Amino acid sequence: MRMNLSLDQFLSLSEAEQLPYIGRQGVLYASQFDRHTLDHLCRVAEAARVMHQTPAGAQQMSELLRHRMALNFFIQPSSRTFMSFNTAQAFLGLSRMSVRDAKISSMSKGESLVDSVRTFISYVDLVVMRHPDENAAATAFWTSTQAHRRVHLPDGDHVPVPIVSGGSGTKHHPTQALLDVYTLQKSLGTIDGRTLMLVGDLGRGRTVRSLAQLMRNYSNVTLLFAAPEKYQMLPDITAQLDAAGVDWHVLPSLESGIDAADAVYMTRIQDEWDGGNGGEHVRADPAFAFRPDHLDRMKPNACLMHPLPKRDEIDPALDYIDDERIVYWRQERNGMWMRVALLAWLFRVESALLVDAPTLQRG
């Protein structure tokens, strides 16, 4: 839909009301993705992984977006999201720049986000951004629609420079949710009918919020929310789950869901939002921490996930146990392939990755 709204009008719309304006021209929310697109992106990610295994395939992939330039604008800490986007861009042949510290950009001279983004998109064809303000990506998206610059796509369409959220405040982390879906599908074979236990800081965890939103696309999924009361999933997400008929339950401990869960998704306490704790990190409540004996009680085909970084919510001994069900390091690498798929999809070149596409491999 053509943007005919002021920034304030656009930001005052609900997430659902913003979706028609966003279409396929950016990635701001997990709620943008329907089942068909999720399945498609998982296939493309799997195809990219296999294609890159041969020098000829890697070469072919690196031609796809060779004429494009990306900016990775990450002014909040990031290791995996930043590195996996960089690697995905390199695989697709994009040139890349990064801004990782607002203090060394003109923002420190008082430039507004709107003006900064307007500048960025004069030079680049894609902005991936992580920002503490939950509205920053939507602001950047709106800015991009207002600029004259358009990116010409292979099908003849012209679109504003795409903006991709790599994490927006405490609310949204759509690309993490996509890689989580890809990991779940690879680990469990299917997501339909499965039970997922989300553990830790669900109130401020943008990963689990976005993942819960995506679960509305699958049939008969049960979500178990295991968190101390003050870190419980917030009503905006549970209302969306209710509207979509997703079954969800609050649990008093990790222990109480371990036998039922097909996937256990751990998260750390997001204490950076607590305003500084004198360098000390908030410790995980032991009732919501994963111990080696929990692994013994997990279903034989279940999986243990974590968006990482992890702290004491997972006993470090787990890293020395060789068990197929511990998938968080593979999850990290899945992120790179999903980001290849997502960027190829945004620039509408993903069919080139789907030649001889394999079926999804377990593991």
Of the pair 127, 208, the CB lying nearest ligand NCD is at: 208
Min CB(138)–ligand NCD separation in Å: 17
Residue nearest to ligand NCD (CB): 307
Min CB(170)–ligand NCD separation in Å: 9
Min CB(209)–ligand NCD separation in Å: 10
Cβ(196)–Cβ(263) below 8 Å: yes
Interacting residue ranges for ligand NCD, rule: CB under 6 A:
80-81, 167, 173, 176, 206-207, 267-268, 307-309
Min CB(265)–ligand NCD separation in Å: 11
Cβ(256)–Cβ(217) below 8 Å: no
Of the pair 91, 328, the CB lying nearest ligand NCD is at: 328
Of the pair 162, 174, the CB lying nearest ligand NCD is at: 174
Min CB(347)–ligand NCD separation in Å: 23
Min CB(41)–ligand NCD separation in Å: 18
Nearest-angstrom CA–CA distance, 315 and 288? 11
Cβ(299)–Cβ(262) below 8 Å: yes
Min CB(65)–ligand NCD separation in Å: 23
**Single-letter code of the amino acid located at 283:** R
Of the pair 189, 309, the CB lying nearest ligand NCD is at: 309
Nearest-angstrom CA–CA distance, 12 and 27? 18
Of the pair 167, 203, the CB lying nearest ligand NCD is at: 167
Of the pair 111, 271, the CB lying nearest ligand NCD is at: 271
Of the pair 168, 222, the CB lying nearest ligand NCD is at: 168
Cβ(266)–Cβ(313) below 8 Å: yes
Nearest-angstrom CA–CA distance, 353 and 339? 13
Of the pair 160, 205, the CB lying nearest ligand NCD is at: 205
Min CB(270)–ligand NCD separation in Å: 6
